[in-house]
Amino acid sequence: MTRILAVDDDERILKLIRNALVKEGYEVTVQSDPRKISGLKLTDYQLILLDVMMPGIDGFALCEEIRGRVDCPILFLTAKTRETDIMKGLGIGGDDYITKPFGIGELRARVAAHLRRETREKKHVVSVGGVQFYLKEKKVCYEGKELCFTKSEYIICEYLALNHGQVFAKDRIYEHVFGYEKESDNSVITEHIKNIRAKCLRAGFEPIETVWGIGYRWR
């Protein structure tokens, strides 16, 4: 059974999350005290929901603390919608965010979309312009060295690279990566592209080109 961890200091939010996701067949663990997360075996969870504004340690700090210990998607629950907050959350390893207040339908759709892409079956290794994509392992290598992408960053790279030369708008990239048909938030894709470029540049190459007014393509 798919296991989900939800961390929020608001017991009412936790109750809503648990009720909504248990009905979808998920096993849901809730925790109102973020300081107790260290006592959990985080690798047992396939998705983590983190509130941003919590006493003691906020969701951003908690994400930084646990990101190196888990591979699963981390989704922020936040009332903060400023671009700087979004950039910070995605920059430290978050995969997406859900803006409070949110509806049950939106919560279920976002969670299902992220879990769906985590279980996609991959069987091949593909080389595009000297960059190797290990599709089953969701790993990218350049000149023999692995690039440490988050899951969202990897899926964006894979999508652009396997369709190299084609230009994709931000909303189309968002829909492909997250599988969520509601109106996309372009700032999510913008920040992920920024992070991808920085990591690629450190490795010595720059594969993603901006086509102004349209979107992005893999060179």
**What confidence tens digit (pLDDT) does each residue in 129-183 have?**
789 888 878 889 998 889 999 989 999 999 999 998 899 999 899 988 887 655 5
29, β-bridge pairs = 5
Same domain (yes/no): 142, 114: no
Least confident of 6-20, 21-35, 60-74, 97-111: 60-74
Quick one: average pLDDT of 67-87? 82
Q: How many domains does the chain have?
A: 2
Same domain (yes/no): 63, 162: no
Q: What is the CATH number of the domain that holds 14?
A: 3.40.50.2300
* Cα distance from N-terminal residue to C-terminal residue, the chain: 41
Same domain (yes/no): 101, 132: no
Half-sphere exposure of 100 (CA within 13 A, CB side): 18
Q: Which two tokens stand for residue 189?
A: 């894709």
Write out the residue range of the structural domain in which residue 172 sits. 125-218
Of residues 187, 23, 198, the one with CA closest to residue 97? 187
Judge whether residue 60 has pLDDT over 70.
yes
Same domain (yes/no): 137, 37: no
Judge whether residue 122 has pLDDT over 70.
no
Half-sphere exposure of 78 (CA within 13 A, CB side): 21
Same domain (yes/no): 111, 9: yes
Same domain (yes/no): 33, 89: yes
Same domain (yes/no): 74, 163: no
Read off φ and ψ for residue 11, nearest 5 degrees. Answer: -60, -30
